[in-house]
Amino acid sequence: MAGHESGTRVMRVRNLQDYFRTSIDDVVARQQVEIDPHASHYVVNMLTLFSRSDELYEDDGESYGLRPLALMLADAADAPSVEHRNHLLQRIGDVALFIAGFFAESLASRAVDIDYYIHMGGNAYGSLSEEVRGTFRGNAIAGVYRELAIKFHLLVDVLNEVRDGPCDGSDVDLIRIYEVWRKTGSRRAEALLRRQGVVPITDAKTRRH
């Protein structure tokens, strides 16, 4: 693209869904983590959907943007039907995973950080799994939501690498990476720190998911 520095990577893709699928599969293999294929497929479809801003952002006629997760959770608690509550729980999980996976660095200056998104998103998927379990449609999808809940922090690591690509020393913001490791115990963040000669020391305040 004209006007961008020569070091900027520009990748042309014919099919965004195929791009996300290939990228996630490659990162999962590289990080040597186990993600259920159905859960991986769910994440691919979610990323493809949210690549359209009108699917990610909400427009109520007065404002346009992302509704805070806490307000969405309050809406879910007051939902007039089980179906509407489940829809809101799914959206909380999806939005939390998307933001934590692709915009983690933007959370550093906010009142809530990446750990909050991991907590809210994982809990939303976990609650959704319990809600739909035992229903006709839920028998097929409950296991996927449970996998998303249990592996939420691993999926955030995977999406961080999909976003960044394999990082070398010139690309790593060590302070940002250290903060992510300190707050979440991210294995990817720890590996990036060690690659740069920084050996993080675990203490009682470091979260391990």
Q: 144: pLDDT confidence band, cut at 50, 70 and 90?
A: very high
Q: What percent of the chain has a predicted confidence (pLDDT) above 70?
A: 79
Q: pLDDT digits over 101-126, tens only?
A: 988 777 766 767 889 999 999 999 99
How many whole angstroms from its chain centre is CA 76?
20
Distance CA 141, CA 16 (A): 24
Distance CA 86, CA 80 (A): 11
Distance CA 112, CA 93 (A): 16
Distance CA 23, CA 209 (A): 24
Give residues with Cβ within 8 angstroms of 3, minimum separation 6: none
